[in-house]
A and B are shown apart, each in its own frame.
Chain A
Amino acid sequence: MIVEFSYKGPTSESTLLELLSDTSRKAKLLAGGTDLLVGIRGGVYKPDLVLDLKKIPEYQKLVLGEDHALTIGPAVTINEILSNKVVQQYHPLLCACAKDLASYQIRNRATVVGNIVNASPCSDMAPALLCLDATITIASVRGKREVAIGEFFTGVKKTVLEKDELVTAVHVPASSASANGVYRKLKRIQGHDLGIVGVAVAQVQGKLRIAVSSAAPTPVVTKPLDGTLSVEALLKEVDSIISPISDVRCSQEYRRFMVLEYTKYLLREVTSC
């Protein structure tokens, strides 16, 4: 079917939540549109109402909290993260992942929250946020709730969000600021591409976190690991959290191999930082 929808750009959160609470409508939220509009074009999404959240002033905010904690509003773009001096200095892993997300003009539109909410297994921002123990604020007319990012994804393109809910912020806690972190993404070309696999390794408060994208139905992360563990033991942890498959981009076998190779490489990088 050809989708025709109405468009609303409320300027207050309460109006937006009200509109979203009308579950008789097939509403979709629009931020950067880089996933939504591709999905509508391809027939994946057939909304009858598109709700633009960019006009709500507080949603555009990137709030730098005490001790360099971050609160990222749902309209904050990837390039806004990348050009922020504080983020560059205190959240290098966030920048490393952001830099590998699509192309410059996509990053001008794509949002951090959108990349999470889209819940693609190959999300670029998820590995960073998983390593950094981000929490997600979810709002609806019924109220607000907080969810750890590790609990947020439930499957391929599936999250804990209810139909009337939206993500109003992602928080990176102060405890994760200044964490060493590196990211590496295997692609088919040097230019912009979805990851065949992506691996992020971070040292957070003396513990190692290793997150992986494109190697399980959702982006995944290890529990905090003791940095004194042997490389073999660390790799075993990583191996236990992934469940790669074969698809047009690569085989299961190579995916698993490359996740472990990249982990080894990044462990060397991060410990030499």
Chain B
Amino acid sequence: MLIRVTVNTVVYEREVKENRTLLRFLREDLGLTGTKEGCGAGECGACTVFLNGKTVNSCMVLAVEADGGVVQTIEGEAQEGMLSALQAAFEAHGAVQCGFCTAGMIMSARQLIHNNPHPTKEEIQEGLEGNFCRCTGYEQIIEAILDVTGQVQEKEELRYV
């Protein structure tokens, strides 16, 4: 089936098989490999992208469903080589380790901030619930989001004894 999808403001027309997921379409047909597959079953959130303004697990969306739609992926987050404020906060707070969950995490954080410009720690935890991270323990990710939303009170730090 021929589909027409706008991804990060670029319009793509591609012939896809009906059983192709949006995730594989992005990664393999468009070469946008920043979005990752962690489980293929909608559990881990590594494949999170925006479809028509809302975050979805792209492994659980058919590419044909995106026909006529607008998709945003991690490749659209930085502008002209400059990290977005959200990305920069992740970098500054050590919120990245292996990096495999990072793209999905940024997408969910972006959605959260869009819905709620000043989320509490608890609301951030709710918002990121669908994105597994096995490395960081989430804490520095949460701190990055608190920071980028202008809510850093006291910086959490290592204590020396």
Contact = CB atoms under 8 A, between A and B. Distances in A.
Tell me, yes or no, whether A and B come into direct contact in the complex with CB atoms closer than 8 A.
yes
A103 B61 contact: no
A105 B48 contact: yes
B45 A105 contact: yes
Interface stretch (B26-34, B78-86, B122-130, B143-151): B122-130
Contact of A7 (B1, B55, B130): B1
A191 interface: yes
A4 B45 contact: no
A32 B111 CA distance: 19
A104 interface: yes
A50 B42 CA distance: 19
A104 B111 contact: yes
A202 B105 CA distance: 37
B130 A102 contact: yes
* A9, A54, A109 pick with most chain B CB within 10 angstroms: A109
B42 A30 contact: no
Interface string B108-140: 100110000000000000110111000000000
A40 B41 CA distance: 10
A30 B21 CA distance: 13
Contacts of B1: 7
Contact of B19 (A5, A79, A108): A5
Interface residues of A, number: 27
A192 B44 CA distance: 10
B14 interface: no
Given A33-B62, A191-B129, A106 B17 contact: no
B55 A108 contact: yes
Q: Main SS of chain B's interface residues?
A: mixed
B65 interface: yes
A104 B129 contact: yes
Given A4-B18, A52-B65, 11 more contacts: A5-B19, A7-B62, A7-B64, A42-B41, A50-B18, A102-B130, A104-B108, A104-B127, A105-B45, A106-B57, A108-B54
23 contacts: A4-B18, A5-B19, A7-B18, A7-B62, A30-B65, A33-B65, A34-B57, A37-B61, A38-B41, A38-B60, A50-B62, A103-B45, A103-B130, A103-B131, A104-B55, A104-B112, A104-B130, A105-B111, A105-B130, A106-B60, A109-B57, A191-B129, A192-B130
Interface in B77-116: 108, 111-112
Contacts, number: 77
B123 to A, nearest CB: 11
B18 A109 contact: no
A30 B60 CA distance: 11
A188 interface: no
A193 to B, nearest CB: 10
A191 B124 CA distance: 12
Nearest to A77: B54
A50 B64 CA distance: 11
Contact of A103 (B59, B65, B129): B129
A41 interface: yes
A105 B62 contact: no
